[in-house]
Amino acid sequence: MRRGGDSNRSLGGAKAACQQLNGEGICPVIDETAILTAGSGIPLLPMSKPKKVAESKLRFLPSVDQLLRTQEAEKLRASVGLRRLTAIARLVLSEMRTALRQETGREHTTATLLDEAVQRLQATCEMERSRGLSRVINATGVVLHTNLGRAPLSAAAVKAIVENVSRYCTLEYDSFSGTRGTRAARVEALLQELTGAEDALVVNNCAAAALLVLTVLAADGETLVSRGELVEIGGDFRVPDVMSNSGTRMVEVGTTNRTHMEDYRRALTADTRLIMRVHPSNFRIVGFSTAPSLTDLAKLAHEADLPLYEDAGSGQLIDLSQYGLKDEPTIRSLIEEGADVVTFSGDKLLGSAQAGIIAGKAKIVSQLRKHPLYRALRSDKLRLAALEATLTLIQRDQALSDIPVLQMFALTQAEIENRAQHLIKQVSSADGPLQLTLIAGESATGGGASPTAELPTTLIALTHKELSAQDLELQLRRHSPAIIARISDEQVLVDLRTVFPEEEDELVAALQALK
- pLDDT (tens digit per residue) in 149-197: 999 999 999 999 999 999 999 999 999 999 999 999 999 999 999 999 9
> What's the pLDDT at 452?
67
Residue 352: pLDDT over 50: yes
Residue 281: pLDDT over 80: no
Choose among 150, 125, 126: nearest CA to 136: 150
Q: Is residue 148 part of a domain?
A: no
Q: Is residue 144 part of a domain?
A: no
End-to-end Cα distance, the chain:
80
Interatomic CA distance for residues 81 and 489, integer angstroms:
44
Kindly state whether residues 296 and 211 are assigned to the same domain. yes
Kindly state whether residues 168 and 291 are assigned to the same domain. yes
3-state class (DSSP) for residue 195: helix
Residue 207: pLDDT over 50: yes
Kindly state whether residues 383 and 254 are assigned to the same domain. yes
Kindly state whether residues 235 and 347 are assigned to the same domain. yes
Interatomic CA distance for residues 449 and 409, integer angstroms:
12
Residue 504: CATH number of its domain: 3.90.1150.180
Residue 360: CATH number of its domain: 3.40.640.10
Q: Which of 27-41, 193-207, 333-347 has the lowest mean pLDDT?
A: 27-41
Residue 9: pLDDT over 70: no
Q: Is residue 197 part of a domain?
A: yes
- Under a CB-based contact definition with an 8 Å cutoff, are residues 188 and 199 in contact? yes
Decide which of 452 and 220 is more confident: 220
Q: Is residue 25 part of a domain?
A: yes
Q: What is the mean pLDDT of the chain?
A: 87
3-class SS string, 29-78: CCCHHHCEECCCCCEECCCCHHHHHHHHHHHHCCCHHHHHCCHHHHHHHH
Buried b (16+ CB within 10 A) or exposed e, 340-349: bbbbbbbbbb
Percent of the chain residues topping a pLDDT of 90: 69
pLDDT digits (tens, 9 = 90+) for 457-486: 999 999 999 999 999 999 999 998 999 999
Decide which of 44 and 477 is more confident: 477
Interatomic CA distance for residues 169 and 164, integer angstroms:
6
Interatomic CA distance for residues 162 and 386, integer angstroms:
10
pLDDT band at 454 (very low <50, low <70, confident <90, very high): confident
The domain boundary residue, chosen from 402, 437, 457: 402
Kindly state whether residues 63 and 28 are assigned to the same domain. no
Q: Is residue 351 part of a domain?
A: yes
Residues 294-314: what's their mean pLDDT? Answer: 95
Interatomic CA distance for residues 408 and 387, integer angstroms:
19
> What's the pLDDT at 353?
95
Residues 335-354: what's their mean pLDDT? Answer: 95
Q: Is residue 117 part of a domain?
A: yes
> What's the pLDDT at 232?
67
Kindly state whether residues 252 and 280 are assigned to the same domain. yes
> What's the pLDDT at 11?
41
Kindly state whether residues 420 and 502 are assigned to the same domain. yes
What domain count does the chain have? 4
Q: Is residue 140 part of a domain?
A: no
Kindly state whether residues 301 and 390 are assigned to the same domain. yes
Domain enclosing residue 2, as ranges: 1-47
Kindly state whether residues 295 and 363 are assigned to the same domain. yes
Kindly state whether residues 193 and 297 are assigned to the same domain. yes
- Under a CB-based contact definition with an 8 Å cutoff, are residues 267 and 251 in contact? yes
Backbone angles phi, psi at 307, to 5 degrees: -80, 150
In angstroms, what CA-CA distances link 26 with 19, 20, 22, 35, 226? 7, 10, 8, 14, 87
The domain boundary residue, chosen from 332, 367, 402: 402
Interatomic CA distance for residues 403 and 400, integer angstroms:
6
> What's the pLDDT at 293?
92
158: CB partners within 8 A, 6+ apart:
386
Interatomic CA distance for residues 96 and 329, integer angstroms:
59
Kindly state whether residues 36 and 70 are assigned to the same domain. no
Residue 42: pLDDT over 90: no
Kindly state whether residues 342 and 457 are assigned to the same domain. no
CA 400 to centroid of chain Cα atoms = 26
Q: Is residue 143 part of a domain?
A: no
